[in-house]
Amino acid sequence: MTFILNSVIIIDNPGGLRSHPEKLVFKGDYLMKRTTLIVAAAVFSATALISLSGTAFAWHPEGKIVKKVQNITTGSVLSDADTKETGVAAKPGDQLKYVIEVRNVAPAAQKQYNDMVNTVVTDELPAGVELVGNPSQRKLTADLGRIVPGETKKQEYVVRVTAKIAAPITNTACFTGNTEVNDNAQKGCNPAVVNVTIPPTPEVPVVTTPTPKPPVVEMPAELPKTGLAENVFAATLAIGALLYATSRYVISKRDLSKTVS
């Protein structure tokens, strides 16, 4: 019996291997040895591939992000306000504190297989708020580096509410990360909602100054008589009284002189 193969690795002798790219012809008593060698090589290759694949897929970090908000001005609690219904109340001028938490919830693993590396957080501020200390900065970026399984890293900052209308403000933060061999990318986002209300404008009371009225002078029931006739009469009485007094003086002087002589 004769077998013909195109290209195989065969054992010519116990001491070595030799490759024959040309057609090879060998007898049936060598068939079992050559077949065994081919099968063993295939099994070895498959095992190596499985081993490499298992190593590649052994990196399993699991990143999670949570963003919370607190109204510092009103003293509210730090809340995971993901929706309008759970949003934190605020009004123009209030200061808000945002806290971003990124954690690796993967189990611990040997050789740092489950570590999340090159972790970066980004947060672009929406309209209606501005960063305290740097109002012109609208995008915030933080490099959190490596986060091992079970670890949490935080970033926080304070903004001021500048909105002029009553409406929700949704502020979303995102993160990215990967493994040491860049084969299991991680990413995620989480919002925090603030419900802005505009207080009613208080009415300014109108103050009216009353117009002062001129004083009313009450007139006597009968006015004093100050006419010419009244003045003449008074003068006549005065002259009469004076003449009478003078005559009485003269008479008294005359009587006194008679008495003395």
Q: Is the pLDDT of residue 20 over 70?
A: no
Separation between Cα atoms, residue 143 and residue 57, nearest integer Å: 26
SS3 category, 126? coil
- Every domain of the chain and the residues it spans: 2-56, 63-196
- Looking at residue 3, its pLDDT comes to 39
Q: Label residue 22 by pLDDT band (50, 70, 90).
A: very low
Q: Is the pLDDT of residue 8 over 70?
A: no
Task: Select the CATH number that applies to the domain covering 63-196 from these four: 1.10.3720.10, 3.30.70.120, 2.40.40.20, 2.60.40.740.
Answer: 2.60.40.740
Mean pLDDT of 254-258: 67
- Looking at residue 219, its pLDDT comes to 67
Percent pLDDT > 70 in the chain is 67
Separation between Cα atoms, residue 232 and residue 229, nearest integer Å: 5
Closest CA to 67 of 100, 95, 102, 96: 100
More confident residue, 171 or 25: 171
- Looking at residue 214, its pLDDT comes to 78
